[in-house]
Chain A
Amino acid sequence: MGLDFIGTIIIVLYFVGLVAIGAIASKKIKNSEDFLVAGRNLGFWTFTLLIVASICSGMTILGVAGLGYATGWPSIWEQIFVPLSAAVCILFFGTKLHTVASRTGYVTVQDYFAHRFYSPRGIRGTSAIIGILISIIYLVGQYVSISMVLSWLFKIPYEWSLVIGAGIVMAYTILGGLYAIGMASLVQGIMILAGVLLVGPVVISAAGGLEHINLVLAGIDVNMTNLWYPQVHPPYAKYAFLTPEYLVSFFFLLTLGLAAAPHVVNNVLAARDVKYFKWAPLAAFVIYAVIMYLCKITGFAARSMVSEKMISLPAGVANPSDYSFIVAAEHVFPTFFAPLVAIIVLSAVMSTTDRLMLTIGSYVSWDVYKQFVNKDASEKSITLLSRVAIGLSTVITLYLAWSNPPELLAWLIWMAIGVMLACFVTPLFAGLYWRRATREGALASMILGLVGVFAFSYYAKFIAPMPMHPSIYGFAISLAAMIVVSLMTKKPSEKLLDETSTGMFIRDRKKA
């Protein structure tokens, strides 16, 4: 009882600290640009950790260890592809978007699309609506991790833990906008890194060391110590789906899909100085890769410990392997594990949740309201509407998390990253680097990509399994649509292409 009490105090203090960050940040909010893009004034480490923490979600910790538990070393590619998405976002999207935005004052990525594809309403509306919908789905997915952790560790009901977790994030996000999210990311990023550096090595040595873990894995299935499972379709076992072919689609899904995700790519507009884009790709990749390697190997260690009956995963839950990180940490830190694990996982969940909420808020107020409803909306009303939209999105997503069948939810979340790949990657790359890309091409690419990813995901889920992640077929359609439709339509004006620094270069040497 005493330890529960101390653990609860630590968590409450952590929550109070986050809300205090929101209150401090709220004093910096003078206009909507402060609220939505932190006044374009985030420092190097805040910016770098904001990108990492936005991508690093609750499932990054729990799901990564869970996938490692289930499949072994072939899943290590996830630890390459996801950290690489942070570097791709900063380097290939961020460098140029930030440079152009410093002349034009973009607030969201829709501002860029509207400018580059000379479509103030069509592309902006399509991109914003898709962005809002997938952010809502993704947000519901984050709540699953919050409730898993809080209800497992503190034995409080699932519904309570949801409301508490979502309420705290909503509070500091509404208070301080991207300023608060940036400052919180700094704290959360350090907590995640310190936490896994502490838990990972201790769990690995408790399981008998890396060599012992690998021998146990090889004893379960020799392919668990290889870099992929043999290329057979359908796979010979449910866990053996990570074949070379599937891993190729995994690269596109994670590295490109996450890099173009609305809650990630908009962050590049908030950096104070374009010089940050020099070292930030390397810094983000290394920090994130260390976190993810340790989480994954903790999952391997948990598998070894379970097969040697040192620990056992909970029965009667839908996804027992996703509990492997929590259960393994509990085994090695039986006394103060609860607050420690809770802070690691909650930091990861909250740092993604806050950014998703703000994305919805900014798309609703800046892209939908200001462009379609009231063109002369004042600074104050934009900020107010963002805050109201954040509150409303929290209520809607809590309702969805409460009422939806978990199976459908898991399918929708799995598809949400696929939608990011099929809808946003092609327009971003083509817009930034291909002078021939046209408005019609971008619109066709987004809409056909969306239709494609839905159709193939439905087929893979309900009709017959496919050898690759269904999103890659949607991505192929979006790429083909961009090229074919662009070549059939009129090329944009040279003036516009020069204004938006379009072309096969990352940094414009002529103007630099």
Chain B
Amino acid sequence: MIIGLPTDTFVGVIIVPVAISLLLLLWALRW
């Protein structure tokens, strides 16, 4: 449990937006 959430949920809600942001950053840097 992290801040009252199951670890899977906590990791999921952080890692998905971060991963998408990194992909969009990659798009910008490869321009």
Q: In the bound complex, how far is the Cα of B25 from the Cα of A282, in angstroms?
A: 6
Q: Verify A73–B24 contact, CB threshold 8 A.
A: no
Q: Verify A279–B28 contact, CB threshold 8 A.
A: yes
Q: In the bound complex, how far is the Cα of B3 from the Cα of A91, in angstroms?
A: 35
Q: Verify A225–B9 contact, CB threshold 8 A.
A: yes
Contact of A91 among B12, B25, B27 (CB under 8 A): B27
Q: Verify B4–A282 contact, CB threshold 8 A.
A: no
Given contacts A278-B31, A279-B28, contact A214 B3 (CB under 8 A): yes
Q: Which residues of A contact B5 (CB under 8 A)?
A: 73, 214, 225
Q: Check if A190 is an interface residue, CB within 8 A of chain B.
A: no
Q: Which residues of B contact A215 (CB under 8 A)?
A: 4
Q: Which of B1-31 contact A (CB under 8 A)?
A: 3-6, 8-9, 12-13, 16-17, 20-21, 24-25, 27-28, 31
Closest to B24 in A: A282
Q: Verify A289–B17 contact, CB threshold 8 A.
A: yes
Q: Which residues of B contact A214 (CB under 8 A)?
A: 3-5
Q: Verify B6–A226 contact, CB threshold 8 A.
A: yes
Kindly count the residue-residue contacts between A and B in the assembled complex, taking CB atoms under 8 Å apart.
56
Q: Verify A76–B13 contact, CB threshold 8 A.
A: yes
Q: Which of A247-296 contact B (CB under 8 A)?
A: 275, 278-279, 281-282, 285-286, 289, 293
Which of A128-136, A205-213, A312-320, A404-412 has 4 or more CB atoms under 8 Å from chain B?
Answer: A205-213
Q: Verify A227–B8 contact, CB threshold 8 A.
A: yes
Q: Which residues of B contact A282 (CB under 8 A)?
A: 21, 24-25, 27-28
Q: In the bound complex, how far is the Cα of B25 from the Cα of A215, in angstroms?
A: 35
Closest to B3 in A: A211
Q: Which residues of B contact A286 (CB under 8 A)?
A: 21
Q: Check if A49 is an interface residue, CB within 8 A of chain B.
A: no
Interface size class of A (residues with CB under 8 A): 20 to 34
Q: Verify A80–B16 contact, CB threshold 8 A.
A: yes
Q: Verify A210–B3 contact, CB threshold 8 A.
A: yes
Given contacts A214-B4, A227-B9, contact A278 B28 (CB under 8 A): yes
Closest to A507 in B: B31
Given contacts A73-B9, A227-B9, A279-B28, contact A285 B3 (CB under 8 A): no
Q: Which residues of B contact A184 (CB under 8 A)?
A: none
Q: Which residues of A contact B17 (CB under 8 A)?
A: 79-80, 83, 289, 293
Q: In the bound complex, how far is the Cα of B17 from the Cα of A76, in angstroms?
A: 11
Q: In the bound complex, how far is the Cα of B17 from the Cα of A53, in angstroms?
A: 20
Q: In the bound complex, how far is the Cα of B27 from the Cα of A84, in angstroms?
A: 14
Q: In the bound complex, how far is the Cα of B28 from the Cα of A215, in angstroms?
A: 40
Q: Check if A16 is an interface residue, CB within 8 A of chain B.
A: no
Tell me the smallest distance from the CB of B22 to a CB of chain A, in Å: 9
Closest to B26 in A: A282
Given contacts A80-B17, A225-B9, contact A212 B28 (CB under 8 A): no
Q: Which residues of B contact A350 (CB under 8 A)?
A: none
Residue of A212, A213, A218, A225 with most partner-chain B CB within 10 A: A225
Q: Which residues of B contact A87 (CB under 8 A)?
A: 20, 24
Q: In the bound complex, how far is the Cα of B25 from the Cα of A285, in angstroms?
A: 11
Tell me the smallest distance from the CB of A387 to a CB of chain B, in Å: 37
A65-96 vs B, Cβ < 8 Å mask (1 yes, 0 no):
00000000100100110011001000100000
Tell me the smallest distance from the CB of B29 to a CB of chain A, in Å: 9
Q: Verify A211–B4 contact, CB threshold 8 A.
A: yes
Contact of B12 among A227, A275, A293 (CB under 8 A): A227
Q: In the bound complex, how far is the Cα of B16 from the Cα of A211, in angstroms?
A: 21
Q: Which residues of B contact A285 (CB under 8 A)?
A: 20-21, 24
Closest to A277 in B: B31
A86-109 vs B, Cβ < 8 Å mask (1 yes, 0 no):
010001000000000000000000
Q: Which of A214-229 contact B (CB under 8 A)?
A: 214-215, 218, 225-227
Q: Verify B9–A84 contact, CB threshold 8 A.
A: no
Q: In the bound complex, how far is the Cα of B21 from the Cα of A316, in angstroms?
A: 42
Q: Which residues of B contact A218 (CB under 8 A)?
A: 4
Given contacts A210-B4, A225-B4, contact A281 B24 (CB under 8 A): yes
Q: Which residues of A contact B25 (CB under 8 A)?
A: 282
Please name 10 pairs of A and B residues whose Cβ atoms are closer than 8 Å in the assembled complex, sorted by A. A76-B13, A84-B20, A218-B4, A225-B5, A227-B9, A278-B28, A281-B28, A282-B28, A285-B20, A285-B21
- Besides A73-B13, A227-B8, 5 new A-B residue pairs in contact (Cβ under 8 A), listed by A number: A214-B5, A278-B27, A278-B31, A282-B27, A507-B31
In the complex, the 9 A-B pairs of residues with the closest C-beta atoms, listed nearest first: A214-B4, A282-B24, A211-B4, A278-B31, A211-B3, A215-B4, A281-B24, A227-B12, A278-B28
